[in-house]
A and B are shown apart, each in its own frame.
Chain A
């Protein structure tokens, strides 16, 4: 008889988005709880046997009581078992979000804290969950080692749940702490190893999956925004894993080179192609050289998109302002103003000049003000 469960991780409830201020930031924060509600609804809808959260349920052990309570409430619509594993953000210290949740007495019976390295039996013994909780923020040893020595009855599904970096499979920087052997599935004879920490959805090794964060939270193109629906049909056989997109917001990082006047409409089209603007956050890096008039058009376009997107962050430090002869002619300036423009253009081109970073903006201001005066 098969067992299905939802594998998710890295909810990081309580996370703030310091680079996204104001209402967009507040919306991102509240969305994380809404996403948990969506997961609960999904679990209920799919009638899964359990939901396993592989660490970093909370952004920090020092989140407020209110956040703890809200999280429990968000999970309410799924009455089946929830297995919550402490990760590096919410490690199972003596004083932690977990200890506080217990003290608050708001933890429903179906919610299991996997904060001890002890097996958890589910589905009337058909499934044994082997947790490797982080009891401090950083571990240098592999906490999943004990899985190997644990014996379970024949035919019982063995599912490991851990939080950390799988060795040899991730970029070097991600491996520094909380190591997990990439052969753990084989050594511990696991049917599935549910992992957390890596925010993108990734099958990192055989039967070994990072679910990724269900709600994207950064401009990194590693496929976040999913939960995994895992179906175990026969012990010792590969599971069936389904990615279920669940995230609300998409975080898009774009680089765009402004070559000529046509670039404005190209950029406009590219932004439009991103889909629903209200659920899209864009980080746009502009490069190239732009005339003052074009730059003015570009600014107006970006102002428009600022209003249409949930969030737009433009990095124009690499976009050089280069007044064209047409610009200058259009400004109708002569004499010292023209000399000043030439001087500013010189500074703009001279990357060593101390005022290099401000020259483009200065030119732009001059352009706009002169235009204003002409009107």
Chain B
């Protein structure tokens, strides 16, 4: 078994590695290279890929150079392959310092591109034409080295990796796939089948055209056959119609029908004669019955006349009886009414007398009331007149006072202003207090002084003291004059204002105002009294008094002496009412009597008219009867009726005999026979005519169609169709055979490919069972893991959880690696954080699986979850510990390490 074993990796000036980093103690089994985020674990893997798969002079090399670095990126790998140790050194640069060197432990050494080409051959990969290498160029590394963040993707075989994986089963594959010939044959059959069918198995090309032609020819043939059938049908029709015509002629059908019509018509003529007889009998009977009716009518009329005369005479008698009765009743009624009328007249006279008395009594009472009213109103009138007079006086007094509230208020204002001016003057004035000795006298200005006192001086004043002389007292202050003038001005204003209101002081003005107000309220009081006494005014009240007085005087004149007489009005009223009631009662009786009388009179008139009318009717009828009897006697009429009845009976018998004769001929049957035979004749005649016409038409038509040679056309079309159908059948046979062959080859190829997948499946099964007990892998013919089967259900790879997908992606790579490894192909598996989405349990199982796999080939795990991989059992390398750093970097790293430690402690 051959092995690919990476022993050491040295990286310098490569991306983030400005200093060199060396991982040198890698084992041939499981290795875990742990580093925190940004420690450079992916960069380390990139460097390994670059060293192996990128040309040192590739343009991509510059992208490895750290920013601003002068020294070119350098990677040095030591690996062992088939027992030979190789040291690969690459300096990525297009300048002179670029280098590629491969030194083998067996003494071989390659430089530059030769080294790279040998390496590609050794490891089975190729270089990318442009840009950096990609997995599809990296041979097995492209398959077995898993990049970070792509771990859960479906594992696809690149061309190179497929070639190598297939190389493992080359012999079996060749056998199963039938070699190049099998493939060529398959392609050839696919091409042939494609000439017949589209990708959706629909016919195409010539085959399709054959199908269409067959359909078209079939349709054309059917159309033509239809035409021929129609033609033959018409020939048959012609034949049938002619046969019918022949039969008619042979049977003399038309002639027979005509004879039947003739015979029916003869029977019908006989029937018509009998009908005439019946009709004549019916007519005669009608006439005789009419005659009988006439004489019966005359006889009945005579009886009716007699009976009507009797009735009229009876009516006259009845009217006379009624008239007599009614006249007696009227007489009694007239008497009763006369008596009632007499009583009524008496009562009316008495009532008139009492009415006059009552009228006087009521007038006297009215007069008394008027007197009282007059006296009362006169009093009121007087009081009202006094109140009015008072009101006028008060108003006059009030109007004489010209002081108003406003004027008083103004006065007070001016007085206060004057007083204020005075106060100010006095304040500024010189006060002369004097206490003169008794008898001593002095003259201050014009004012003599004596005794004790004081004088306020507001202006230059001369003081003469007798015996002493004269003093001029001049009060101080410049504005004293102004103040004094102000006082004077205000005093003048006040005087003027007082003069305007005709007052000598403000107090007197106020007093006048109060008086005015008193007058005013008194006037209002009197006005109110007046309104209470005479609401409508004094003149109206006066008119009322005058009117009452006029009425009073008029009544006094009317009553004369009776004016002062005492009447018992109530008693009189009762008497008058009693009389009134009696009169009304009797009047009502009289009216009732009058109505009864009127009715009787009207009835009497009616009875008289009735009697007259009855008498006239009786007289008329008697005359009519007499006249009638004059024309024909009653006995003659009776005899006429008997004769007529006898004649009618004779006619009835004759008619009955005629009817019997008619019925015995069965007229209904005769009529129906006439109708039937006529219709039959018409029908037959029409049919024969129609047949003749049809035969003629058909002959013309068929003769026109016949010459076309429809049968030959049909036969020709049949031939053409048969040929097309045969061609189609041949093509269909070949098409079906090709389709079958294609299916058979496809199926066989698919089964062969499934067999090819078997080794991969066999390797995968133990891993999968260890990871997910009970699950089976599904590997297709391209050796791709397409999903798993669990509990009998298929689950597509893409439908699985991300965690499961990344685990399966690792497992299938291990299966490939196992197969390749067993086949002697040098493999190594590199996983760059390929299980970040796995739960603890699955990750533990994966660690066990990886440990087992690493027994067969080298496995490198790069992870930033070092803690979780510490227990893999493989060699554990902390990347940070392999980096040579500057001091700054060192402290940075220490910080990171502390962080890592903290994380671990947590």
Those of B702-746 within 8 Å (CB) of chain A: 702-703, 705-712, 715-716, 718-723, 726, 733-734, 736-741, 744-745
Asked if B749 is at the interface (CB within 8 A of a chain A CB), the reply is yes
- A217–B178 Cα distance when bound, in Å, is 53
Structural contact, A94 and B722, CB atoms closer than 8 A: no
B residues neighboring A (CB under 8 Å)? 174-179, 181-182, 184-186, 188-189, 192, 228, 231-232, 234-235, 238-239, 242, 695, 698-699, 702-703, 705-712, 715-716, 718-723, 726, 733-734, 736-741, 744-745, 747-749, 751-752
Chain A residues lying within 8 Å of B736, measured Cβ to Cβ, are 355, 357-358, 361
Chain A residues lying within 8 Å of B181, measured Cβ to Cβ, are 332-333, 337, 370, 373-374
Q: Select which of A17, A136, A334, A364 is within 8 A of B179 by beta carbon.
A: A334
Chain B residues lying within 8 Å of A77, measured Cβ to Cβ, are none
Give chain A nearest CB distance to B248 CB in angstroms: 16
Structural contact, B699 and A334, CB atoms closer than 8 A: no
Structural contact, B710 and A336, CB atoms closer than 8 A: no
Asked if A121 is at the interface (CB within 8 A of a chain B CB), the reply is no
Asked if A21 is at the interface (CB within 8 A of a chain B CB), the reply is yes
Chain A residues lying within 8 Å of B238, measured Cβ to Cβ, are 93-95
Give chain A nearest CB distance to B628 CB in angstroms: 94
Give 6 new A-B contacts, CB below 8 A, not counting A332-B181, A365-B738, A373-B185.
A21-B726, A67-B709, A93-B239, A336-B749, A336-B751, A361-B736
Those of A103-135 within 8 Å (CB) of chain B: 103
Structural contact, A335 and B239, CB atoms closer than 8 A: no
Write 9 A-B pairs (CB below 8 A) sorted by A numbering: A59-B712, A60-B711, A62-B705, A94-B239, A334-B179, A344-B741, A355-B740, A364-B737, A370-B181
Give chain B nearest CB distance to A16 CB in angstroms: 3
Q: Select which of B182, B710, B711, B738 is within 8 A of A334 by beta carbon.
A: B182
- A365–B711 Cα distance when bound, in Å, is 41
- A20–B719 Cα distance when bound, in Å, is 7
Give chain A nearest CB distance to B301 CB in angstroms: 88
A67-B712, A94-B238, A344-B740 known; A361+B733 contact, CB < 8 A: yes
Asked if A308 is at the interface (CB within 8 A of a chain B CB), the reply is no
A14-B711, A344-B744, A358-B733 known; A335+B174 contact, CB < 8 A: yes
Q: In the complex, which of the residues B235, B698, B734 has the most CB atoms of chain A within 10 Å of its own CB atom?
A: B235
Structural contact, A14 and B752, CB atoms closer than 8 A: no
Give a binary string over A328-359; 1 marks a CB under 8 Å from any B CB, 0 the rest: 00001111111111011001000000010111
A61-B235, A61-B711, A136-B239 known; A339+B706 contact, CB < 8 A: no
Structural contact, B715 and A14, CB atoms closer than 8 A: yes
Chain A residues lying within 8 Å of B708, measured Cβ to Cβ, are 62, 64
Which residue of chain B lies nearest to A135 when distances are taken between CB atoms in the complex? B239
Chain A residues lying within 8 Å of B705, measured Cβ to Cβ, are 62
Which residue of chain A lies nearest to B709 when distances are taken between CB atoms in the complex? A64
Chain B residues lying within 8 Å of A344, measured Cβ to Cβ, are 740-741, 744
Q: In the complex, which of the residues B185, B231, B705 has the most CB atoms of chain A within 10 Å of its own CB atom?
A: B185
Chain A residues lying within 8 Å of B749, measured Cβ to Cβ, are 336, 340
Task: Give the interface residue-count category, chain A.
Answer: 35 or more
- A64–B715 Cα distance when bound, in Å, is 12
Give a binary string over A1-45; 1 marks a CB under 8 Å from any B CB, 0 the rest: 000000000000011111111100100000000000000000000
Q: In the complex, which of the residues A336, A363, A364 has the most CB atoms of chain B within 10 Å of its own CB atom?
A: A336
Interface of A is mostly: helix
Chain A residues lying within 8 Å of B722, measured Cβ to Cβ, are 18-19, 21
Structural contact, B178 and A358, CB atoms closer than 8 A: no
Give a binary string over A56-77; 1 marks a CB under 8 Å from any B CB, 0 the rest: 0001111111110000000000
Asked if A263 is at the interface (CB within 8 A of a chain B CB), the reply is no
Structural contact, A335 and B178, CB atoms closer than 8 A: yes
- A22–B726 Cα distance when bound, in Å, is 12
Give chain A nearest CB distance to B715 CB in angstroms: 3
Structural contact, B707 and A64, CB atoms closer than 8 A: yes
Structural contact, B709 and A14, CB atoms closer than 8 A: yes
Chain A residues lying within 8 Å of B715, measured Cβ to Cβ, are 14-16, 18, 59-60
Structural contact, A337 and B748, CB atoms closer than 8 A: yes
Structural contact, A65 and B707, CB atoms closer than 8 A: yes
Chain A residues lying within 8 Å of B239, measured Cβ to Cβ, are 93-94, 136
- A341–B185 Cα distance when bound, in Å, is 12
- A103–B189 Cα distance when bound, in Å, is 63
- A60–B186 Cα distance when bound, in Å, is 54
Q: In the complex, which of the residues A15, A66, A136, A362 has the most CB atoms of chain B within 10 Å of its own CB atom?
A: A362
Structural contact, B176 and A335, CB atoms closer than 8 A: yes
Give chain B nearest CB distance to A184 CB in angstroms: 26
Instruction: Give the A-B pair count, Cβ closer than 8 A.
Output: 178
A residues neighboring B (CB under 8 Å)? 14-22, 25, 59-67, 93-96, 99-100, 103, 136, 332-341, 343-344, 347, 355, 357-359, 361-366, 369-370, 372-374
Q: Select which of A93, A96, A335, A358 is within 8 A of B177 by beta carbon.
A: A335
Structural contact, B179 and A63, CB atoms closer than 8 A: no
A334-B179, A335-B177, A336-B749 known; A62+B706 contact, CB < 8 A: yes
Structural contact, A366 and B185, CB atoms closer than 8 A: yes
- A264–B410 Cα distance when bound, in Å, is 168
Structural contact, B744 and A340, CB atoms closer than 8 A: yes
Chain A residues lying within 8 Å of B726, measured Cβ to Cβ, are 19, 21
Structural contact, B178 and A95, CB atoms closer than 8 A: no
Give chain A nearest CB distance to B175 CB in angstroms: 6
Structural contact, A337 and B182, CB atoms closer than 8 A: yes
Chain A residues lying within 8 Å of B734, measured Cβ to Cβ, are 361, 365
Chain A residues lying within 8 Å of B709, measured Cβ to Cβ, are 14, 62-67
Give chain B nearest CB distance to A192 CB in angstroms: 31
- A136–B232 Cα distance when bound, in Å, is 11
- A374–B698 Cα distance when bound, in Å, is 70
A63-B711, A94-B239, A95-B698 known; A337+B185 contact, CB < 8 A: yes
Structural contact, A336 and B711, CB atoms closer than 8 A: no
Structural contact, B710 and A62, CB atoms closer than 8 A: yes
Chain B residues lying within 8 Å of A341, measured Cβ to Cβ, are 744
Chain A residues lying within 8 Å of B740, measured Cβ to Cβ, are 344, 347, 355, 358-359, 362
Structural contact, A337 and B186, CB atoms closer than 8 A: yes
Q: Select which of B179, B185, B228, B738 is within 8 A of A362 by beta carbon.
A: B738
Give chain A nearest CB distance to B197 CB in angstroms: 14
Chain A residues lying within 8 Å of B235, measured Cβ to Cβ, are 61, 93-96
- A115–B182 Cα distance when bound, in Å, is 73
Structural contact, A16 and B185, CB atoms closer than 8 A: no
Structural contact, B184 and A373, CB atoms closer than 8 A: yes
A21-B726, A62-B228 known; A369+B707 contact, CB < 8 A: no
Structural contact, A16 and B737, CB atoms closer than 8 A: no
A59-B715, A60-B711, A67-B712 known; A340+B747 contact, CB < 8 A: yes
Give chain A nearest CB distance to B396 CB in angstroms: 150
Structural contact, A16 and B718, CB atoms closer than 8 A: yes
- A136–B726 Cα distance when bound, in Å, is 35
Chain A residues lying within 8 Å of B234, measured Cβ to Cβ, are 95
Chain A residues lying within 8 Å of B698, measured Cβ to Cβ, are 95
Structural contact, B703 and A103, CB atoms closer than 8 A: yes
Structural contact, A64 and B178, CB atoms closer than 8 A: no
Give chain B nearest CB distance to A101 CB in angstroms: 11
Which residue of chain A lies nearest to B738 when distances are taken between CB atoms in the complex? A365
Which residue of chain A lies nearest to B735 when distances are taken between CB atoms in the complex? A358
A62-B710, A62-B711 known; A361+B748 contact, CB < 8 A: no
Which residue of chain A lies nearest to B750 when distances are taken between CB atoms in the complex? A336
Structural contact, B752 and A62, CB atoms closer than 8 A: no
Structural contact, B752 and A336, CB atoms closer than 8 A: yes
Which residue of chain A lies nearest to B726 when distances are taken between CB atoms in the complex? A21
Q: Select which of B176, B188, B232 is within 8 A of A373 by beta carbon.
A: B188
Structural contact, A340 and B706, CB atoms closer than 8 A: no
Q: Select which of A64, A334, A335 is within 8 A of B712 by beta carbon.
A: A64
Chain A residues lying within 8 Å of B741, measured Cβ to Cβ, are 340, 344, 362-363, 365-366
Which residue of chain B lies nearest to A366 when distances are taken between CB atoms in the complex? B741
Chain B residues lying within 8 Å of A62, measured Cβ to Cβ, are 228, 231-232, 705-706, 708-712
Which residue of chain A lies nearest to B232 when distances are taken between CB atoms in the complex? A62
- A60–B749 Cα distance when bound, in Å, is 59
Chain A residues lying within 8 Å of B175, measured Cβ to Cβ, are 334-335
